[in-house]
Amino acid sequence: MKLPASIERFLDEADARLADNPKLKQLFRNCFPNTLETTTKLLDDGTTFVFTGDIPAMWLRDSTEQVRHYIPFAKEDQELQGIIGGLIARQMFYINIDPYTNAFNETASDKHYRATDECGLNPWMWERKYELDSLCFPVQLAYSYWRETGVDSIFDDACYRALSTIVQVLKTEQRHMEQSPYRFVRQTKQETETLQNGGLGLPVNYTGMTWSGFRPSDDACLFGYNIPSNMFAVVILGHIRDIALEIYRDERLADRAEKLRKEIDFGIRAYGIVNHPVYGKIYAYETDGFGNYCLMDDAGTPGLLSIPYIGYVSAEDPVYQNTRRFALSFDNPFYFEGKFAKGIGSPHTPGGYVWHMALSMQALTATDDEEVKALIDTLIATDADTGYMHEGFHPDNPADFSREWFAWSNSLFATLICKAMDKGLV
């Protein structure tokens, strides 16, 4: 699609600001508008469908992250308001179809990633993996868009129903074993692609936190309480409380959201922090409430590295800093180093791969400018001369990578470069 005027102007400004670094200048010019140019469809009903790139479906999570960096330009650009507002409407439409679905088709085409999944598929669903973060991202997008632009027309009846549904689902999943209707079974040899225990997942104890079947990487949770996703839920429940009070004048919804927010936050602090023999108090990645913990980090957002990015605590928080040191060490089983890069990968990609998104997130949450500049240099040097970011790549051979067309990774890199330009680091 043709780029909105505000985006065209900003790209021209960025060309001038990055003129001394030709490769970064070209990378930014490719990556910043990539979502608008290649993965955005304006539909006849006034909504916006944003697919992920090399997969034709729209993820609630990815679509939010793909457009987040455009929000600051929307205040004075009505065309951009229409695009982002249309995406918010589309997300709420999908949540009202089914809040347990992570990825949707453009139409009720009955196309599925795995049609044999035992999970209650309907024709709108590309894949029905319940990922807690998938309900958080659309709320964050709507809230950020509203606060930045002042436009409140996005808060219609469909949005109200979706926000109410989100609160109810998070409440239900506090007692997943007893109350949840959700099951997911995939016939596969990969343990990360299905839920154990007849699709219910391994047993969890009540903690106040809310359960998730899958991680932001689309891999199955080992233990049902994913700590970064619960942190994100705390943040967005505060947003729902504010929207309920300021827009809908619904004190009951606001009270339900605030009560749930406090319960989940209590659970994180009571069950989500462990004493590590090397790093001290750190946040676990997952727990089951029975005393079992998964100590790792994954390149997907939300992860432990991205805790300040999602707004739960600041980058200076001492437990976060301890956690960050853990995540960026070999004590994290998904931290890898090679000749050209070092950083966090994922069980979702081949062993040893580092993710561009993890490098971008490390820089976005860093408090040391030299660390930021070094990471930007690494990102520039590992695009395999494609002009774009990827998913995972081998740190000894950046030409060995996954996902040539992955718009979320391009958008997160663009977000980083915007921040670095504002700080005079590039």
Instruction: Please tell me the distance from the alpha carbon of residue 209 to that of residue 230, in angstroms, as a whole number.
Output: 7
Q: Which residues pair with 104 in a beta bridge?
A: 58, 125
Instruction: Please tell me the distance from the alpha carbon of residue 213 to that of residue 208, in angstroms, as a whole number.
Output: 16
Q: Model-level pTM? A: 0.97
Helix (H, G, I), strand (E, B) or coil at 49: strand
Contacts of 13 (CB under 8 A, 6+ apart): none
- The two tokens of residue 245 are 């009070």
Output the pLDDT for position 190. Answer: 86
Contacts of 114 (CB under 8 A, 6+ apart): 127, 186
Q: Does 302 sit behind a cis peptide bond, omega within 30 degrees of 0 on the bond before it? A: yes
Instruction: Please tell me the distance from the alpha carbon of residue 10 to that of residue 15, in angstroms, as a whole number.
Output: 9
Please name the amino acid found at residue 367: T
Phi and psi at residue 283, to the nearest 5°: -80, 135
Count: domains in the chain: 1
Output the pLDDT for position 189. Answer: 85
Nearest alpha carbon to residue 136 among 59, 37, 50: 59
Instruction: Please tell me the distance from the alpha carbon of residue 420 to that of residue 375, in angstroms, as a whole number.
Output: 11
pLDDT tens across the length of the chain (426 residues): 889 999 999 999 999 999 999 999 999 999 999 999 999 999 999 999 999 999 999 999 999 999 999 999 999 999 999 999 999 999 999 999 999 999 999 999 999 999 999 999 999 999 999 999 999 999 999 999 999 999 999 999 999 999 999 999 999 999 999 999 999 999 998 889 999 999 999 999 999 999 999 999 999 999 999 999 999 999 999 999 999 999 999 999 999 999 999 999 999 999 999 999 999 999 999 999 999 999 999 999 999 999 999 999 999 999 999 999 999 999 999 999 999 999 999 999 888 999 999 999 999 999 999 999 999 999 999 999 999 999 999 999 999 999 999 999 999 999 999 999 999 999
Side-chain-side CA neighbours of residue 324 (13 Å): 23
Nearest alpha carbon to residue 285 among 219, 372, 375: 219
Q: What is the DSSP code string of 298-317? A: -SSSSSSTTHHHHTSS-TT-
Query: Exposed/middle/buried for 424, CB within 10 Å: 0-12, 13-18, 19+?
Result: exposed
**Full residue range of the structural domain in which residue 177 is found:** 5-422
Helix (H, G, I), strand (E, B) or coil at 127: strand
Q: What CATH number corresponds to the domain at position 150?
A: 1.50.10.10
CB 234 within 8 A of CB 304: no
